[in-house]
Amino acid sequence: MQFIMEEFEFEDLDLDNEWLDQLEKDNKKYKDFYTEQVEKIEINYVYVDSDNNISNIKQQDFFLHKGVLKKNDLIYLIKGNQVDNNKKYELLSLLKYNIDLHPDEIINYLKDTDDSNFLKVLTNINDIKWNDTVMLFHDMNSLFVLYYRKKKRDSKTRKINLINKIKKKLKRKYTRKRT
């Protein structure tokens, strides 16, 4: 028994692809409301002088690896931006801003913005993970690195060298006076 295969060409088939095109158009409208992994953040370096005034702010974009800023990269960024205008600053604080709303929470957030807290103070230098974010809010995810410049103290204290004084006393004590 032999089967006879006829060649079909897709051009001959009359398929209705209009619904598929319409679905793609509708999906494009709502693309900004789907959550996706954060690929890039903005890092803001804020320099505070000894009088508690902001002396400078630097901004830098940084690409994440699977939504994570690795510890080694973080240390490199902190150390590399510690000096501003030939003045050395000390790390004061790290603040992570991550808007991790789900699409169904956006309306509630817009009605009551006081209930949400997206700013987190980081107490340790470790890997930092940004949660998946609605595409509309991707540009708002960021890291704030705060530096502080301490006041120089005028030290008015005198250094006393005790060792030399003790040696002088010992020399006097054990040497005889000649008469």
The Cα 163–Cα 95 span in angstroms is: 49
> Is 2 a residue whose pLDDT tops 90?
no
> Is 106 a residue whose pLDDT tops 90?
no
* Structural domain includes residue 100: yes
* Structural domain includes residue 164: no
Residues of the domain holding 147? 32-153
* Structural domain includes residue 5: no
The Cα 175–Cα 167 span in angstroms is: 12
* Structural domain includes residue 7: no
* Structural domain includes residue 77: yes
Cα–Cα distances in angstroms (integers) from residue 138 to residues 2, 31, 43, 67, in the given order: 61, 12, 13, 11
> Is 142 a residue whose pLDDT tops 80?
yes
* Structural domain includes residue 118: yes
99 vs 161, which has greater pLDDT? 99
| Sheet architecture: strand order including 54-63 | 54-63, 40-48, 142-148, 90-97, 119-122
* Structural domain includes residue 2: no
Q: What is the pLDDT of residues 27-53, one digit of tens each?
A: 666 666 677 889 999 999 999 998 899
* Structural domain includes residue 64: yes
Check which CATH number belongs to the domain holding 55 and give it: 3.10.20
> Is 85 a residue whose pLDDT tops 80?
yes
